[in-house]
Structure 1
Amino acid sequence: MLALRLTVFVLLFCGTCGFSRFGFNLINHCNPPEQLVGKFCAALLDNDVNGDGRVDGSDIAKDVLYYNYDDDLCIMQEWEVVTRWTCRYGFSDRNGRFMFKLFDGNKDGFWTTDDFKALNFSNADFLAAQYTRFKNMYCVDPNNRENPVDRVQCAEVNALKPEDVKCT
């Protein structure tokens, strides 16, 4: 019985046998969408917190509370953003770091609500920005296609047209 308990512990928390994020995913409810459009739609759902059809700074200020892994609600560090980006949306660590740098508006090495105050998109514009940012800013760099996750997702975005990015 002790051997069984130890085996379960090792599998869930130590990440052997290919289950490196299994324990983390159980605790943090990681279940990212498989398709890229689903990832964009999950981001829209998370960022239009009040459901008014617009993504603005106040919505994002509420969404980034889910990025908190160190009990400091005012500041999101890069590792927290990468953790959320990979867990919730299923993007690569590299893409998470890219997004962190992109939205660290004042380049202080942290995300705060001040970095997002000026944002104001309709939901359609938010989805278009997700698509354009991923295709034309991230995937255009060949270094961002080295990771197997990025290769698949960049190939997927290249096969999409802007009108294909819809949440139903």
Structure 2
Amino acid sequence: MLALRLIVFILLTCGACGFSRPFFYLFNHCNPPEKLVGKFCATLLDNDVNDDGIVDAREIAIDTLPYNYDEDLCVTDLWEVVSWWTCRYGYSEEYGRYMYRFFDVNGDGRATADDFGAFNMTSPDFLMMQYTRFKNVYCSDPKNRVSPVDKLQCDEVDKLKPEDIKCP
């Protein structure tokens, strides 16, 4: 009987792929913004590290440090990006996978500092890029509106206009 209880506890706690989402959120202090504008602003906040109004490759490299779940600071894996984008920002797992292509620019399956190159963008442009990429690229593909999270967020972004995208 004790063995059965232990097995049920392990399955409920760990699931098939590591920790289940509620436990992952609990242990990693996930508290994503509820609205998309908040998600876009959180991304800007995390990437303009020195708050100088410019997002550059060095700051993006600094931003990826919290993505480190496996103690390898030199490589950011797909699962780490998915975990961070679902936990920190509250996007779907599908969007996290989609975003990984921007981390692994050269497509070698390993996101490293070499992938960021010479990135340099003003904060307002970076913020608008978040909105445009989500609305015009990601949500414009009907297959990206299947998951409940994506459907809800894509419906929300459809109602937003560029002038709505402002951070406090």
Both proteins in one fold, TM over 0.5: yes
Distance in 2 between the 1:156 and 1:11 partners?
Answer: 35
Distance in 2 between the 1:50 and 1:117 partners?
Answer: 19
Please report the RMSD computed on the Cα atoms of aligned residues, expressed in angstroms. 2.0
- Deviation, 1:20, is 3.8
Q: Deviations over 1:100-126 (max 9, x none)?
A: 023321111121122123211111000
Kept in 2: contact 1:138–1:144 (CA 8 A): yes
Amino acid at match of 1:81: V
Q: 1:11 to 1:33 in 2, by over 3 A?
A: farther
- Deviation, 1:25, is 1.2
- Deviation, 1:11, is 10
TM-score by length of 2: 0.88
Residue in 2 aligned with 1:84? 84
Q: Deviations over 1:73-99 (max 9, x none)?
A: 000010110000100000011100111
Amino acid at match of 1:151: K
**How many residue pairs get matched?**
159
Kept in 2: contact 1:12–1:23 (CA 8 A): no
Q: 1:73 to 1:34 in 2, by over 3 A?
A: same
Distance in 1 between the 2:65 and 2:20 partners?
Answer: 25
2:118 pairs with 1:118: yes
Where structure 2 has 5 or more consecutive residues not aligned to the other structure, the ranges are: 1-5
Residue in 2 aligned with 1:167? 167
TM-score by length of 1: 0.88
Amino acid at match of 1:65: L
Residue in 2 aligned with 1:129? 129
Where structure 1 has 5 or more consecutive residues not aligned to the other structure, the ranges are: 1-5
Report the identity percentage: 65
Residue in 1 aligned with 2:44? 44
Q: Deviations over 1:3-62 (max 9, x none)?
A: xxx8xx6798347xxx94222112111110000000000000100111111110010110
- SS of equivalent to 1:23: helix
Distance in 1 between the 2:120 and 2:67 partners?
Answer: 20
Kept in 2: contact 1:12–1:22 (CA 8 A): no
Residue in 2 aligned with 1:154? 154
Distance in 1 between the 2:146 and 2:13 partners?
Answer: 28
Distance in 1 between the 2:116 and 2:104 partners?
Answer: 9
Distance in 1 between the 2:77 and 2:37 partners?
Answer: 27
Greater helix fraction, Structure 1 or Structure 2: 1
Distance in 2 between the 1:81 and 1:75 partners?
Answer: 11
Residue in 1 aligned with 2:23? 23
